[in-house]
Structure 1
Amino acid sequence: MMCSRNIKISVVLFLVLIPLITALPHNNHNLSKRSNFFDLECKGIFNKTMFFRLDRICEDCYQLFRETSIHRLCKKNCFDSKWFGECLKVLLIPSEEISKLQHFIKVINGSPISFPQSVPT
């Protein structure tokens, strides 16, 4: 009799708590971006603003060409690839912005950048 009552109480609590827990706001977006930082084997410092800006370049490049390989190659070596540089060119990113992005890559990647330092106009 007592065991049956405990089971009923447990079931009721379970049914009440599940909707409450699922209704709580989840911050999975930031977690997924941070894990993406590690997936790209970035060895520098995770700075959310810098990482999101670099990631946005690759997203915009992907939107332009709709080619998944470009998206992957743009992020290769933690955004330090010739493909990232090519995306900067086709997206017509101004040179002032490029120098800021190069700094971002240096911080995120933890090493000097290897893609071309200046973009021909």
Structure 2
Amino acid sequence: MSPKAPHQTTCCRLLMFVASLMLLQTVTPSSIKIRPNTFKEFQFIKCQGEFDKEQYSFLVQICDDCYNLFRNPNVLLDCKANCFQNPVFPACINRLLLKDKETEIKGKLYYVSGADPPSYPETHDAPAMVLL
């Protein structure tokens, strides 16, 4: 073995280590698996109200059903974003024909988000375009 061989091995190992670190930095928070309907997920989507598993699970189920309807992974993430305070969530309510439960949904939304739910327009056609 030549005297440069140990140096080359060390250099190669160092390059592999740096490459591994760079790969770890590219992992986004959304790719980290958080168990559904847990307090950790509640915090992750920035809910600041009270964590009541039953009420929270009810709202998550709306997003899950909407995802199952459209089979678009972005729908699931966007529906839960900002603690359900976004244009996709009311579009999902409309598409899932849950208008008759809107008062109940708003109550649960207020409880878990800690903020008044946005007033939903009578038709949700514009936000529903996000779902397609």
Structure 1: which 4+ aligned runs deviate by more than 4 Å? 29-32, 117-120
- Match for residue 72 of structure 1? 77
Contact 2:37 2:53 in 1 (8 A): no
Kindly state the Cα deviation for residue 52 of structure 1 after the two structures are TM-superposed: 0.3
| 1:31 to 1:93, Cα distance in 2 relative to 1, 3 A | closer
TM-score (structure 2 length as normaliser): 0.62
- Match for residue 109 of structure 1? 113
SS of the residue aligned with 2:38?
Answer: helix
TM-score (structure 1 length as normaliser): 0.68
Correspondence list, 1:9-28, <5 A: none
Where do 5+ consecutive residues of structure 2 fail to align? Answer: 1-33, 125-132
Of 50, 54, 58, which aligns to 2:55?
50
Contact 1:61 1:87 in 2 (8 A): yes
Kindly state the Cα deviation for residue 118 of structure 1 after the two structures are TM-superposed: 5.0
- Match for residue 9 of structure 2? none
Where do 5+ consecutive residues of structure 1 fail to align? Answer: 1-28
Identity of aligned residues (%): 26
Contact 2:37 2:56 in 1 (8 A): no
Letter in 2 for 1:107: Y
Aligned residues: 91
